[in-house]
Structure 1
């Protein structure tokens, strides 16, 4: 989004925050799977960006720097389960045993299973398949090795396949 070539053309924090907010919120929602939590994580990230604005704007890629901050905020700020809020709905979700759809709606069918993954596995899946980052870019965002990303993705995909197998067999495990 932003390319800074000199201090004179550097955007202010307010300008940057206004432009980055939609993609920051989208990524946060994909990580948290909840609108309120996504807003919290995105806002916490922007507060951190504000506090270290001079470092962010001097980096080679401010957007990558902020994406890493967002992912780290999500991974490190998980609430203990005893304090986690429940998502209340009017009616429980209904699941049918119909064969899975083929096409763009596949991502929506997978979404409940992606939401159930542990935070780090979910982060790898979101960054790879929803944000379309390479393994190396994911490793840079998470601050780990490329091999760790591959291993985490393998475990996440294995869990997703198992969940889909259970669903196709006619039952869902809670």
Structure 2
């Protein structure tokens, strides 16, 4: 068990955040759970080395994004959201926020897997362009252009949200 010292605590502490990110990538709770589980299975044999590096969450998130893109490429399709993403406990149910969340979720669900990963990393996780490029294994220029295209596509898909979707921020309702 020494090999896995700290892994259960890491999963308990960061699992919900990983699951929410996976849900935003897949649009489906069950697929998100599968994606997180697969990432954690890949992490387990490397846990001592990864934990020793000081940033195991970045390692797991990189696995999440790459596995999601690979899954999407293998199947030639992506999943559309079937329900609103799970909300953290303690947030009031406000009608306007709910409507905007649903619209944003629908627009996210109609993006390509790579565009969706860009939006999740840049705006939900508030990653820099260089961090996003590093995690996805692409150039900063690719991050900029794909993010711009993804936001333009979301504005076109959900015209009622056009004023909310700028190239520099996604409103709080998407988070």
TM-score (norm 2): 0.71
Q: CA deviation at 1:59?
A: 2.1
From the two aligned structures, give the one with the greater helix fraction: 2
Conserved 8 A contact 1:59-1:65 = no
Larger CA deviation: 70-79 vs 122-131: 70-79
C-alpha offsets along residues 39-82 of structure 1, whole Å, 9 cap, x if unaligned? 00010011011122133112242211111111111111235258
Q: Which residue of 1 aligns with 2:53?
A: 59
Conserved 8 A contact 1:56-1:66 = no
Conserved 8 A contact 1:41-1:74 = yes
In structure 2, relative to structure 1, the CA distance for the partners of 1:162 and 1:133 (3 Å cut) is same
Q: Which residue of 1 aligns with 2:107?
A: 113
Q: Which residue of 2 aligns with 1:35?
A: 29
Conserved 8 A contact 2:39-2:63 = yes
From the CA coordinates, give the structure whose radius of gyration is larger.
1
Residue 137 (1) aligns with residue 131 (2):
yes
Q: Which of residues 114, 123, 135 is equivalent to 2:117?
A: 123
Runs (4+) of structure 1 exceeding 6 A deviation are: 84-89, 101-104
Q: Which of residues 154, 161, 166 is equivalent to 2:148?
A: 154
C-alpha offsets along residues 92-114 of structure 1, whole Å, 9 cap, x if unaligned? xxxxxxxxx98785343221011
In structure 2, relative to structure 1, the CA distance for the partners of 1:153 and 1:86 (3 Å cut) is closer
Q: Distance in 2 between matches of 1:86 and 1:152?
A: 20
Gaps of 5+ in 2: 84-94, 163-175
Gaps of 5+ in 1: 1-9, 90-100, 169-174
